Structure 1
Amino acid sequence: MTQERTGVATFKGNPITLVGPKLTAGDSAPDFVLSKNLLEEVSLSDYAGKIKLISVVPSLDTGVCDAQTRRFNSKAAELGDDVVILTVSVDLPFAQARWCGAAGIDRVITLSDHKAVSFGQAYGVLIKEFRLDMRSIFVVDKNNTLTYVEYLGEMAEHPNYEDAIAAVKTLL
């Protein structure tokens, strides 16, 4: 049976249910299968040997998600080639590509959890009521160990960008 967590998150003050475990720093990063585009899927192993900053957003077509993705895109260059920034949402790959083109996003890799929401369930961020992934940040080292985890308590709030970037920099 899939674990459901209640009382840990809200959307505009209204309680929502998160499906999956609560991960913590020190845990092994769960594997995932996400759509890179309509025909290509990727998993955690596709980013082997890289430090991974996984930025999870409910939908790129909302203000906070847009700002979050732009912020990490602007930081990507200063982090270097050992770091990959993945933005995960349940948006269709077509919508992600359209949004990235319009927003000029060229350093962040957008990945879609739309098919099976398996990432959301594995990382404990699937919102049961909306079938979206809850805003969160995961930093995964080169050995696929979580070194930083931030689950937002309110879906409409921004994550702690500075702490996430600092967590990545400690691994460089």
Structure 2
Amino acid sequence: MKHIIFILATISLALAVSSCGVKQSGVTVDSHSVLPGTEVVRKGKSMTLLGNRIETGQRIPATELIDAATMDRVNLEDYAGNVLFLSIVPSIDTKVCEEQTHLLGERGDMLPADVKRITVSRDTPFAQTRFAVDANLTDIQYLSDYKEGSFGLSTGLLVDDLRLLARAVIVIDKDGIVRYIQVVPDIGHLPDMERAFSTARELDAEK
């Protein structure tokens, strides 16, 4: 009996230690999605999504973003040959966006090494860099759409009232084709990151 109790205690301790890296904030995880270019809700208020509606099966639009680490102008098409996991947040300095980015940086460590994990927001590159250092999440890439919101407009993810990006996840295959989209209906909820991680793993395994 003592042997069994010891084994159970060891397993419990191992599970507790393994979960310490992921923040547990009690934020609602939403498995539903709305279409880009439609509407999302914030604190009960409906807000229109501006721009061209992107759909699965389409090529990711060629739009310019700023790499926070280098201040270089980059285009998502430059990453052809890699699966891209785009975690799109309104502002990294808010609780839910911070949680989403922690999930990308910590749970996302289990993705294959050649899956590029990217956070996209309209925060300035300087704010993104500061966040990455403060949160110890420097192993993911941060791209800023702060100039004209061209990424948001090219995907139908620019929130009209806020002029921020909607909360979403997009997974792009090695040929630059969008294979998965979730636009969270309520900006205050988290996307289903685990489902998106699973999609990224499957796409990376494709020849």
Alignment-derived partner of residue 62 in structure 1: 94
Q: 1:144 to 1:10 in 2, by over 3 A?
A: same
Quote how far apart the aligned CAs of 1:80 are.
2.2
User: Structure 1 or 2: larger helix share?
Assistant: 2
How many residues align structurally?
168
Q: Distance in 2 between matches of 1:118 and 1:57?
A: 15
Distance in 1, matches of 2:43 and 2:199, equals: 28
Structure 2: how far apart are the matches of 1:26 and 1:163? 18
Distance (whole Å) between structure 2 residues aligned to residue 22 and residue 107 of structure 1: 30
State the TM-score, normalized to the length of structure 1: 0.92
The counterpart of 2:42, out of the listed 2, 5, 11, is: 11
**Alignment match of 1:106 (pick from 101, 120, 138):** 138
2:57 alignment counterpart: 26
Structure 1 unmatched ranges of 5 or more: none
Q: Report the secondary structure of 1:133's partner residue.
A: coil
User: Hey, what does 2:173 align to over in structure 1?
Assistant: 141
Once the two structures are TM-superposed, the CA of residue 76 in structure 1 deviates from its matched residue by 3.2
Return the letter of the residue paired with 1:167.
T
Q: Which has the larger radius of gyration?
A: 2
Task: For residue 48 of structure 1, report the CA deviation from its aligned partner.
Answer: 1.8
In the TM superposition, residue 91 of structure 1 has moved relative to its aligned partner by 0.4
- Write 1 or 2 for the structure with the bigger share of strand: 1
Unmatched tracts of structure 2, length 5 or more: 1-35
Q: Is the 8 A contact 2:50 2:159 kept in 1?
A: yes
Aligned partner of residue 171 in structure 1, secondary structure: helix
Shift of 1:47: 1.4
TM value normalised by structure 2: 0.77
Match of 2:122 in 1: 90
Contact 1:10 1:153 in 2 (8 A): yes
- For 2:196 and 2:202, the matched residues in 1 are separated by 10
Q: Aligned to 2:147, which of 115, 125, 131?
A: 115
Task: Confirm or deny that 1:73 pairs with 2:105.
Answer: yes
CA distance in 2, matches of 1:5, 1:122: 10
Question: Secondary structure of the equivalent of 1:170?
Answer: helix
Q: State the 1:5 CA deviation.
A: 4.2
- AA paired with 1:105? L
Determine if the alignment matches structure 1 residue 124 to structure 2 residue 166.
Answer: no
Q: Distance in 1 between matches of 2:87 and 2:37?
A: 20
- Supply the distance in 2 between the matched residues of 1:39 and 1:169 (Cα, whole angstroms): 29
Residue 35 of structure 1 corresponds to 66
CA contact (8 A) 1:135 1:155 kept: yes
Q: Which amino acid aligns with 1:21?
A: N
Look up the equivalent residue of 1:52 and give its one-letter code. L
What pairs with 1:37-52 in structure 2 (closer than 5 Å)?
37=68, 39-52=71-84
**Percent identity, aligned pairs only?**
35
Is 1:77–1:107's contact at 8 Å kept on the other side of the alignment?
A: no
Say whether the 8 Å CA contact 1:56–1:136 is kept in structure 2: yes
